[in-house]
Amino acid sequence: MPHPNELLRDIFGFDVFRPGQEQIVEAVRTGQNTLAIMPTGGGKSLCYQLPALCRPGVTLVISPLIALMRDQVRALQEAGVCAGALTSANTEDETDAVWSAIEKGDLKLLYMAPERLATTAARDMLRRAHVSLIAVDEAHCVSQWGHDFRPDYLRIGELRRLLDVPLAAFTATADKETRAEIVEKLFDGIAPQSFLHGFDRPNIHLAFAVKNGPRRQILDFADARKGQSGIVYTATRAKTETLAQALREAGHSACYYHGGMNPDDRRQVETRFQREDGLIVVATVAFGMGIDKPDIRWVAHADLPKSIEAYYQEIGRAGRDGAPAETLTLYGPDDIRLRRSQIDEGFAPPERRGADHGRLNALLGLAEALDCRRASLLQYFGETGVTCGKCDLCDAPADVFDGTTAVRKALSAILRTGEYFGAGHLIDILLGTETDKIKARGHDALPTFGIGKEYDRRQWQAIFRQMMGHDLVRPDPERHGALRMTDRARPILRDEDKITLRRDTIKQALTRPAVKTLVSEEDAPLLSALKAKRRSLAEAAKVPAYIIFNDRTLIEMAETRPATLDDMASISGVGAKKLERYGADFLTVIAGEVESLHPSRRKLAGRAEGTVYDRLLQVQAELARGPDGCDKPMSCSASLLAKVAQLKTHDDGALTRILGDRRAERFGAAFLNVLREA
């Protein structure tokens, strides 16, 4: 069986593994039951695809979404791997091709949805197909307490016992409780070899902004990234439609997606997003699991997500190819009220509601952070000592002040009015504004009336928002959203603790963001041309553009400008099959003319054997008429030279068997010298 490092380069086009991949690949390759929790975009698929090529028989991949399976199969086939899927979306020809490959023993990866495991016929087929490994993608779907629970995932443990083969489970979203459930349901409670890799996605830039004309903020963010694929998440279905329309009117290619659409319309949007460059989808969280497009360059939240886990999962859909990606999350006091009320008015038991408030608090802490957001985010997941440089607060440190006195004044106003009023009325009291409501209730006689005139209304709004963000006050659903003080606030009120706040983050005039590019100004035209070539090839093949090459590969091409196929082969993501199929097309875009290489030599491009081939060709030219230059001309075919270049032994008998006696007599000794020097 081939070595994983050879396949990594030749099939997938990568010189080195990403952090953590190599250990997981080795565990899966050697048949150990494995559980791997890796960050979204960390390269989970490779961790079962590569071992599948190193093992005998078929690897069964259980995946929850048909679109995701079909894309992975296409990508593997483009890389020269015999893979197939048995799904309800198959054409008759596709299904026949899978069965034929199984019968011939050629198929290496077979993708199926968990629902198909229910039938006896499917289980019998898998036994006959010589399945030697089961890989489970999105393994957290086995958790009955998770939001992605799929009942059919519960059959996988039984299938593992039936086939008596090792199982490798992969997920990016498993907390401690979910991990325990995966071990129980998939591995019968026997701990597998487990790998828990960091949650950091250093290529993703994090940013939050207070809402101030949120539609314009989203449009400005998209305008600065025109032509780049992105997702905008909103809290309501109606907003997806209106915001998508606004983006189209601003000249963007945009569509909407939500759970109220009929299935055919949703599938059409999913297909467009997978295949089109530069499409923006405005969506609710229904546009979620299975969005595996690697070149999503940005994710924006027009409204605050539900929790810190939801935020992490949703921004994680950006930059899966490892190239730079950006995020923007908008929030305001109305978002905080909405998310609090959704928790309080839900049907979850009290302990679950408490945990949900805690998760929302963690997200609000991230939104109101005073220093590095990445450090705050990863600390929630148990990671410390993070160095960032990739968030808005590292770009421009927050302007902070001691907010203890201001917060104490606000808390005093809340308590002296019986915790029955919202921020607007409380600000009127602090500013000493004699409204009819204040006079009718006698609040102009309170000691707190007019004690907050050092701040204007906009600044007090920012202070109250930050108090909500720090969970010092919460809207009370039973009192129509009136603010109530929490236990966290009491030490501040009693002057036993202090609090630091950010100065008002809302400004009257917001500057439009600068246009963001993936490469330097000098390389941008070439990257655009490479993307155009990719798009035309993808349309001709009827596959998503990233299956040809992803953004990260095109960026490297634009920056390094390979001049030969050997140079092209060193680009990350350019495997042997893709080099043979597309290398010349992209070299033509970069360099104009492409060197003329025999197909046998082209297959060796970027490999050590290619250099050996070139040296053999040179030696052959020197000996074409014999050592004295007087003999009858003789040469080897290109395919014969390629076989010699790939010869792993320095035995002259093996060389003679390839060349034949006459050519071995002329070239054998010199060829062996070249092989020994290689």
Res 144 pLDDT > 60 = yes
Q: Are residues 232 and 173 in the same domain?
A: no
Q: Is residue 509 situated within a structural domain?
A: no
Beta-carbon contacts of residue 491 (< 8 Å; ≥ 6 apart):
497
- Per-residue confidence (pLDDT) for residue 237, from 0 to 100: 94
Neighbours of 49 (CB within 10 A): 26
- Averaged pLDDT for residues 28-46: 89
Distances in Å between the Cα of 452 and the Cα atoms of 426, 442, 485, 498, 500 are 10, 18, 19, 18, 18
Q: Are residues 386 and 453 in the same domain?
A: no
Which DSSP category does 306 fall into?
S
Long-range contacts formed by 568-573: CB under 8 A, 24+ apart:
568/605, 568/606, 569/605, 569/606, 569/607, 569/610, 570/15, 570/606, 571/13, 572/13, 572/14, 572/15, 573/12, 573/13, 573/14, 573/549
Q: Are residues 146 and 44 in the same domain?
A: yes
Res 175 pLDDT > 80 = no
Lowest-pLDDT choice from 59-73, 315-329, 523-537, 602-616: 602-616
- Averaged pLDDT for residues 65-90: 88
User: pLDDT for 617-626, tens place per residue?
Assistant: 888 888 888 8
- Per-residue confidence (pLDDT) for residue 504, from 0 to 100: 60
Res 505 pLDDT > 70 = no
- Averaged pLDDT for residues 141-168: 86
63-96 in b/e form (b: 16+ CB < 10 A) is bbbbbbbbbbbbbbebbebbbbbbbeebeeeeee
Q: Are residues 62 and 132 in the same domain?
A: yes
- Averaged pLDDT for residues 193-210: 89
Torsion of CA 349, 350, 351, 354, to 10 degrees: 130
Res 65 pLDDT > 90 = no
- Per-residue confidence (pLDDT) for residue 265, from 0 to 100: 92
398-428 in b/e form (b: 16+ CB < 10 A) is eeeeebeebbbbbbbbbeebeeebbbebbbb
Q: Are residues 389 and 404 in the same domain?
A: no
Q: How confident is the model at residue 146 (pLDDT cuts 50, 70, 90)?
A: low
Backbone angles phi, psi at 208, to 5 degrees: -125, 155
E strand or H helix at 387, and its extent? none
Q: Are residues 154 and 173 in the same domain?
A: yes
Q: Are residues 223 and 355 in the same domain?
A: yes
Q: What is the mean pLDDT of the chain?
A: 88
Residue 107, amino acid: L
Res 389 pLDDT > 80 = no
Residue 469, amino acid: G
- Averaged pLDDT for residues 326-350: 88
Res 216 pLDDT > 90 = yes
Q: Are residues 243 and 340 in the same domain?
A: yes
User: pLDDT for 9-25, tens place per residue?
Assistant: 889 988 889 888 999 99
Model pTM above 0.85: no
Give the CATH number for residue 79. Answer: 3.40.50.300
Domain boundary pick from 331, 363, 395: 395
- Per-residue confidence (pLDDT) for residue 289, from 0 to 100: 63
CA 246/CA 648 separation, integer angstroms: 63
E strand or H helix at 559, and its extent? helix 551-560
**Highest mean predicted confidence (pLDDT) among 62-71, 295-304, 305-314:** 295-304
Q: Is residue 514 situated within a structural domain?
A: no
Torsion of CA 405, 406, 409, 412, to 10 degrees: -90
- Per-residue confidence (pLDDT) for residue 480, from 0 to 100: 77
Q: Under a CB-based contact definition with an 8 Å cutoff, are residues 62 and 114 in contact? A: yes
Q: What one-character-per-residue DSSP string does 158-219 give?
A: HHHHHHT--EEEEES---HHHHHHHHHHHHTT---EEEE-----TTEEB-EEE-SSHHHHHH
- Per-residue confidence (pLDDT) for residue 625, from 0 to 100: 83
Nearest residue to 408 (alpha-carbon basis) of 470, 474, 467, 482: 467
Give the CATH number for residue 567. Answer: 1.10.150.80
Res 490 pLDDT > 80 = yes
Res 162 pLDDT > 70 = yes
Q: What is the DSSP pairing of strand 500-502 with strand 34-37?
A: unpaired
Q: Is residue 513 situated within a structural domain?
A: no
Domain boundary pick from 376, 395, 414: 395
Q: Is residue 626 situated within a structural domain?
A: yes
Res 257 pLDDT > 50 = yes
Which DSSP category does 153 fall into?
G
Q: Are residues 174 and 40 in the same domain?
A: yes
Could you tell me which residues are beta bridge partners of residue 476? 482
Tokens of 357: 């408030």
Res 390 pLDDT > 90 = no
- Per-residue confidence (pLDDT) for residue 509, from 0 to 100: 40
- Averaged pLDDT for residues 63-76: 86
Torsion of CA 556, 557, 561, 565, to 10 degrees: 120
Res 512 pLDDT > 70 = no
Q: Are residues 174 and 189 in the same domain?
A: yes
- Averaged pLDDT for residues 430-435: 94
User: pLDDT for 592-601, tens place per residue?
Assistant: 755 566 777 7
Domains in the chain: how many in total? Answer: 5
Q: Is residue 511 situated within a structural domain?
A: no
- Per-residue confidence (pLDDT) for residue 290, from 0 to 100: 59
Residue 497, Cα to own-chain centre: how many angstroms? 41
Q: Are residues 580 and 634 in the same domain?
A: no
655 lies in which domain range? 608-677
Beta-carbon contacts of residue 207 (< 8 Å; ≥ 6 apart):
326, 327, 328, 329, 373, 391, 392
Q: Under a CB-based contact definition with an 8 Å cutoff, are residues 554 and 585 in contact? A: no
Res 42 pLDDT > 80 = no
- Averaged pLDDT for residues 293-312: 91
Residue 307, amino acid: S
Q: Under a CB-based contact definition with an 8 Å cutoff, are residues 217 and 206 in contact? A: no
CA 624/CA 627 separation, integer angstroms: 8
- Averaged pLDDT for residues 501-525: 68
Give the CATH number for residue 462. Answer: 1.10.10.10
Q: How confident is the model at residue 487 (pLDDT cuts 50, 70, 90)?
A: very high
- Per-residue confidence (pLDDT) for residue 594, from 0 to 100: 54
Domain boundary pick from 171, 196, 221: 196
Tokens of 225: 């990234």
Cα angle 377, 379, 383 (rounded to 5 degrees) comes to: 115
Res 481 pLDDT > 90 = no
Q: Is residue 510 situated within a structural domain?
A: no
Nearest residue to 31 (alpha-carbon basis) of 63, 56, 61: 56
Q: Are residues 133 and 13 in the same domain?
A: yes
- Averaged pLDDT for residues 498-513: 66
CA 616/CA 643 separation, integer angstroms: 11
